[in-house]
Amino acid sequence: MLVKMEDRLDPDAVIEEFEALSRDAGRVQKETLKKILEENGETEYLLKWGLDGKTDPDSFKSCVPLVTHEDFEPYIQRIAHGENSPILTGKPITTISLSSGTSQGKPKFVPFNDELLENTMQIYKTSFSFRNREYPIGNGKALQFIYGSRQFKTKGGLAAGTATTNVYSDEKFKTTMRAMQTSCSSPDEVIFSTNCEESLYCHLLCGLIFRDQVQVVSSTFAHGIVHAFRTFEGKWEDLVSDIRRGELCSQIKTPSLRTAMSKVLNPDPGLANMIYNKCLGLSNWYGVIQELFPNTKYIYGIMTGSMEPYLKKLRHYAGNLPLLSADYGASEGWIGANVNPKLPPEFATFAVLPNIGYFEFIPLKEDSNVERQPIGLTEVKIGKEYEIVVTNFAGLYRYRLGDVVKVKGFHNSTPELQFICRGNLLLTINIDKNTEKDLQLAVEAAARLLEEEKVEVVDFTSGIDSSTEPAHYVIYWEISGEASDELLKECCNCLDKSFVDAGYASSRKLSTIGALELRILKKGTFHKILDHFVELGAAVSQFKTPRCVGTKNHTVLQILRNNVVKNYFSSAF
Ligand code: AMP
C-alpha cells in the first residue's frame, strides 16, 4: 500500500517531543503519577491503601506498598474471571497479556489496555526517529520474524494472548509500521499462524520474494533472527525450489498459509537461480543476510541481557550490516527507548520515557543483595545498579519488575539505563553469588575452547543440583557438532574456574560446593523447550531461554534431564 505523505512519521517532531519530555523528566514524572492516581483513585486497590485522593509521590510511597506479581495475582485473577467492578483500573480491563514467564516456568497474567498500546507506539516511534537519523530508510519493507501466539478467552471472557500478539493484532501497529516505512514483508496469516515452524518458513519465503524491498531484518529478540537463519541453513534448497516452481512445498500444511502464500508466489526461475548461487557462494553462511537482502540498512531486535549470547552468531549471519539493539520493556509496560542506535549492542542503553509510567529504583548495595529505599527517576546516580519498580496506566502500582539495571548516563534529565539482568541472583548455593551475566561470561570463556574443534554452543542453561552433598552447579549445553571427551572435560573445568565470584571460588576450595557438572544435551533440546513454552501460550517472538531452571520448573527440568547425552565433572579445584 502506498503511504500518503501526511501519514508518514515526522522524525524531527518525534525527537523534539522526546527532548522536551526528557528535559523536564522530574516534573513529567510527578504529573504522570498524578494522572495515574486521578484516573484510578477510586479502584478497590488504591482505596485499600488509604490514599484519600492524594496524588503526590511522598503520599504514594508512604501509603502504597512495594509488591511483586504474586501480590497482584489475586486481583488479576478476579479481573480475568470477569468481575467488572474497578479493581485495579478505573476503566475496565478488557485484555490480558501473558508474559513469557520463561523464568517462572509458567506465563503470568498481566493487564493490557489502550494506554499500554499507546506507550508501545510512542517507544517505537521514538527509537525509530533516532535510528532514522543515523540510518535513514526509504519506502520498503521489513523482514520481521514476528509471531502471534494462540489467543484465547479467559473464564470471564477477556481476550488473552502475549503482549506482542495483543500489539501486532491492533490496527495501530500496522499504521505505525506503515508510517515508519517498515511494513512486514509477510501477510498477516503468516504472523498469526499457530504453527510457528511453518510460519517461520513462510516469513523466509516472503523475505526472499520481496528481497529487493527489504530494508530492515528484525525480530522482537535477537534469538528470533538467529533461529530463523539456523533454520534457513537447513531449508534453503526447499525455499529456492518453491520460488522456482511458484508453489509452496507440501510440508507446509496449514490451509490459511497455503492460501496466503499462493497470492505472493509466482514461478521465478531467475530469482531462484540467483538465490541458489548466492547461497553456494557463501562460506559457512557468513554474511547471508547481507547477501540475500542487499538493500538492508540494519538488523534490529533486542540484543541485550539474555540475548547477548546470540550476538556472535548474529554478527556472523549479518556480515558487515550494523546490529541495532531495540528498546526495553516488558509485558507489564515499557520503560525506555534506545536513542543511541550507533552504540554496539553490548553498550546499548535505554532512555526512560518519563510520561509512560512512574518509575522508582531500589539501589542494590554493592557486592550484596541488601535493599534500600527506592528513589525517583531523576535521583539515580551514574554507575549505580538498581532494581526497577513500575507504576503505570494499566493498573500496576509499585510493581517490582524483577530486572536489574545500571545507570550509564543521562539524556537531558532522564536516565539512560543499561539492562544488567533479570533478578539479581541466578546461581547461589550458600555464600556464592552469580548473576546471569556471570553465567554468560563463564559460558563464553568455555565456548572459546570448543572453537578449536569448530563446534559452537547453540544454547545453554543452568541449574543447581541439590541431590548431591554438597550441592553443585549444573551447566547444560546444546552444541552444534561432535567434540571430544577430552575437550568437553576441559570446557567443564574452564566453566568452573570462570565463576570468579569470591564466594564461589572459596566454597569450591573448601568443598562446601561440589564440582561443577557440564551436561551435554541432544540436538534440538532447546527447540523442545521453546515448543513447551509455546504450548503454554507463549509466543516465539517473546521467547527467552531460561538461563536457570529451578526445581519448580518441572517440565523444563524433565526435558533437560531426558535429553542429556553425556556429562562431565570438573576437576578444576
Ligand atoms: P516478557 O515478560 O516476555 O514481557 O519479558 C520482559 C522481560 O524481558 C523484561 O523484564 C526483561 O527482563 C527482558 N527484556 C525486555 N527488553 C529487554 C532489553 N531491551 N534488554 C534486555 N532484556 C530485556
Residue type, 316: H
Cβ(141)–Cβ(185) under 8 Å? Answer: yes
What does the pLDDT read at residue 512? 83
Taking the CA of residue 325 as reference, the ligand 1 atom at the shortest distance is 19
Check the CA dihedral 542-547-549-552 and report its sign: negative
What does the pLDDT read at residue 456? 95
Q: Which is more confident, 411 or 310? A: 411
CA of 102 to the centre of ligand 1 (A): 11
Residue type, 173: F
Whether the link from the prior residue into 345 is cis, omega within 30° of 0, is: no
Band of pLDDT at residue 501, cut at 50, 70 and 90: confident
Residue whose C-alpha cell is 500500500:
1
CB burial of residue 299 (10 Å; 0-12, 13-18, 19+): buried
CA of 163 to the centre of ligand 1 (A): 12
**Bridge partners of residue 146, in order along the sequence:** none
Check the CA dihedral 153-398-351-223 and report its sign: negative
> DSSP assignment, residue 435?
-
Please tell me the distance from the alpha carbon of residue 499 to that of residue 506, in angstroms, as a whole number.
Answer: 11
Q: Does ligand 1 come within 6 angstroms of the Cβ of 113? A: no
Our mutation pick for probing the ligand 1 site, out of 68, 311, 422, counting the most ligand atoms within 8 A of Cβ, is 422
Cβ(511)–Cβ(425) under 8 Å? Answer: no
Taking the CA of residue 326 as reference, the ligand 1 atom at the shortest distance is 19
pTM of the model: 0.85
Closest CA to 303 of 228, 231, 224: 224
CA of 302 to the centre of ligand 1 (A): 8
Residue 71 has pLDDT above 50, yes or no: yes
What does the pLDDT read at residue 194? 83
Band of pLDDT at residue 358, cut at 50, 70 and 90: very high
Residue 367 has pLDDT above 50, yes or no: no
Residue 87 has pLDDT above 70, yes or no: yes
Question: What mean pLDDT comes out for the span 343-354?
Answer: 97
Query: What are the helix and strand counts (H, E) for the chain?
Result: 20, 21
Taking the CA of residue 538 as reference, the ligand 1 atom at the shortest distance is 3
What does the pLDDT read at residue 431? 76
What does the pLDDT read at residue 503? 81
What does the pLDDT read at residue 8? 83
Q: Does ligand 1 come within 6 angstroms of the Cβ of 97? A: no
Residue nearest to atom 16 of ligand 1 (CA): 328
Residue whose C-alpha cell is 551514574:
382
- How many CA atoms, within 13 angstroms, populate the side-chain half-sphere of residue 10? 7
Please tell me the distance from the alpha carbon of residue 349 to that of residue 335, in angstroms, as a whole number.
Answer: 11
